[in-house]
Chains A and B, each alone.
Chain A
Amino acid sequence: MNAIECSREQDVIDAVSSGRWPDRCDDALRVHVAACAICAEVAKVARALQDDHEAAWRDARVPPSGRVWWRAEMRARQEAARKAARPITLVQGAAAVCAGGVLVALAALVWPMWPTLTAALGLLTASSLATVLPQFGVPLAIGIGSILLLTPVALYFVFSEK
């Protein structure tokens, strides 16, 4: 089985990372690396990576810690607010489903009476309207006007944020 490690690997890595390799390290290590395939590989790879590391280190421009902290804090708060608001969305959804259910129930209730209602409306001819409207016209107009005025106000108070 081929060897995968050498006892002097760490010496080679130390020499490369301290900048002593190859010119300022001791001769014994140089002789060893020349004879040891593993250490020769380690020296080649470590030197290339160390050079690249030095270049990257020189180019590195990291943001200040305060900015990273502040951004993290902002994001955590936004996530907390989103999490807390999730039940409200669920409640609004449930309310919409309930409203839909009530409408369906009303429709189901009115449906059997529909022929009777249309018959009654059929009796309400233009001439009968002319006699009825003067009697109930004013209360009817007040009722419709109130609904038209109050509905937007009520909706505003229900859906406004505060």
Chain B
Amino acid sequence: MRDLTLTDVERLESRADEARSAEVAFQMDEDTFRAFYERTAKPVWVYLSRMTGDAQAADDLLQETYYRFLRVERSYANDAHRRNYLFRIATNLVRDARRRPRVDLVRVPEEDAPDALRADGDVAERTARRTDLTRAMALLKPRERDLLWLAYAQGSSHQEIAESLGLRTGSIKQLLFRARHRLAALLGGTRT
């Protein structure tokens, strides 16, 4: 084996300098990214926020989601596939965050009614319904939460859900039925 000389070390150091100043390899250019981000950032943040139960965690995971998305070398058939893949990354990050014991995901609201509950009419009813929902969602399995949110909050199709969660399209109907049945039971007497 050839001995490494001081010149070799200099050459390696210059490579490190080049890497510092080189253009980084992302799957899309800045303009394309900006357009894609404007279309997807809010739904992704809302999904992350509700699946983690923590707005701060959603902020961090949003940045991480887009970073991983940009770094991956992958081709997409269309914009919907690209978007589904983005949600898949977000879903995996939420799963990783759930495994971390220190993160208190999906906070269960206190028994005491919040101030808004004392408000009149529709606002109070909506707030009460949201509080019930948060409590009920906290009792579901993580995958059930993901499924229900994508299907009924975001209005995703079965195929989109399957792509976002890494599941088979054929199994979504059954899984969604079970999850919905559980949530409906947990929501109890809430008015439809």
Chain B positions within 8 Å of A, measured between CB atoms, are: 4, 6, 8-9, 12-13, 15-16, 18-20, 22, 24-26, 30, 33-34, 37-38, 41-42, 45-46, 49-50, 55, 59, 62-63, 66-67, 70-71, 126, 129-130, 132-134, 148-149, 152-155, 173-174, 177, 180-181, 183-184, 187, 190, 192
Q: Mark A15-48, 1 if CB is under 8 A from B, else 0.
A: 0110000100000000001000000111111111
Interface residues of A in 1-27 (CB under 8 A from B): 4-5, 13, 16-17, 22
Across the interface, do A57 and B22 meet the contact criterion of CB distance under 8 Å?
A: no
Of chain B, the residue at the smallest CB distance from A16 is B152
Of chain A, the residue at the smallest CB distance from B134 is A52
A72 interface residue (CB < 8 Å to B)? yes
Interface residues on A, range: 35 or more
From A80-88, A102-110, A120-128, A141-149, the one touching the partner chain is A80-88
Whole-angstrom CA separation of A85 from B18 in the bound complex: 11
Which residues of chain B are within 8 angstroms of A56 by Cβ–Cβ distance?
46, 49-50
Of chain A, the residue at the smallest CB distance from B149 is A49
Across the interface, B15 reaches (CB within 8 A) one of A42, A50, A68, A84, namely A84
Across the interface, do A59 and B129 meet the contact criterion of CB distance under 8 Å?
A: no
Whole-angstrom CA separation of A84 from B133 in the bound complex: 50
Chain A positions within 8 Å of B, measured between CB atoms, are: 4-5, 13, 16-17, 22, 33, 40-53, 55-57, 59-60, 62-63, 65-66, 68-69, 71-73, 75-77, 80-81, 83-85, 87-88, 91, 94-95, 158, 161
Of chain B, the residue at the smallest CB distance from A58 is B46
Which residues of chain B are within 8 angstroms of A44 by Cβ–Cβ distance?
184, 187, 190, 192
Across the interface, do A83 and B184 meet the contact criterion of CB distance under 8 Å?
A: no
Across the interface, do B66 and A72 meet the contact criterion of CB distance under 8 Å?
A: yes
Across the interface, do A45 and B184 meet the contact criterion of CB distance under 8 Å?
A: yes
Across the interface, do A48 and B187 meet the contact criterion of CB distance under 8 Å?
A: yes
Across the interface, do A71 and B63 meet the contact criterion of CB distance under 8 Å?
A: yes
Across the interface, do A76 and B71 meet the contact criterion of CB distance under 8 Å?
A: yes
Question: Chain B's nearest CB lies how many Å from the CB of A37?
Answer: 9
Across the interface, do A59 and B55 meet the contact criterion of CB distance under 8 Å?
A: yes
Q: 14 more A-B contacts (CB under 8 A) besides A16-B152, A52-B153, A88-B13?
A: A41-B180, A44-B187, A48-B183, A56-B50, A60-B46, A62-B45, A69-B37, A71-B67, A76-B25, A77-B24, A80-B24, A87-B12, A91-B12, A94-B4
Across the interface, A42 reaches (CB within 8 A) one of B24, B59, B66, B180, namely B180
Whole-angstrom CA separation of A73 from B24 in the bound complex: 7
Which residues of chain B are within 8 angstroms of A77 by Cβ–Cβ distance?
19-20, 22, 24
